[in-house]
Amino acid sequence: MPPLPVLAVFAAASLALMIVPGPAVFYIITRSVAQGRAAGFLSVLGVHAGSAVHTVAAALGVSALLAASATAFTVVKYLGAAYLLWLGVRKLFGGSKETADQIAPVSRSRLFGEGFVVNVLNPKTAIFFLAFLPQFVDPARGPVAPQILLLGLVWIVLGMASDGSYALLAAALAGRLRRSRRAARRLDIASGLVYLGLGATAALTGDAPQKT
């Protein structure tokens, strides 16, 4: 099990990434605007069912990667860092055309299913689990997979709290969110800075963990 200080740093890094509006958050916001809080919460559940898939995939994949090659692990880490940095630059200079316009209501099962698919296919989440999360894993403290599963559980709990807050706020401020482009641009700037910080952290964190 990772020590408490490591878990605390991981939780802080996770929250920093979660507050950045990405595909999953945008999906939750649009559904909350269109159908209210209940739809938003169902979307959150679907999204984090997708997070569970990423957690299991990382637990299996990163463990295998470490067992196979420390060099391969390092390559994945730097590719992930480069992707996060690219996202940051794009957010800062690309401008946003996304708005939370009202969309047609859909069934409960579809709310959950679409949220699941959105996050399973979310590159931000995949990169976090495959390139950033492993920085908090220490093979010297025991098997890698259980450590990743614990970190993934922390991510899911924090994610449900963070995304649930987005759902509540979006439902309460539905009218403003449909109209505001200035707010979207401010979110882009904040998002870009967070991506750049996470990318730099992933790139500058020490060498790949050594196999025991």
Encode pLDDT of 12-30 as tens digits: 988 888 887 777 887 788 7
pTM of the model: 0.68
What pLDDT, on a 0 to 100 scale, did the predictor assign at position 191?
A: 61
Look over the chain and give the mean of its residue pLDDT values, rounded to a whole number: 77
pLDDT, one tens digit per residue, over 38-48 is: 999 999 999 99
Cα angle value 212/210/88 (rounded, 5°) = 145
Give dist(CA 75, CA 72) in Å, integer: 5
What pLDDT, on a 0 to 100 scale, did the predictor assign at position 151?
A: 92
pLDDT, one tens digit per residue, over 169-204 is: 988 887 665 556 666 666 667 667 766 776 676 667
Cβ burial of 193 (10 Å; 0-12, 13-18, 19+) is middle
pLDDT at 116 over 50: yes
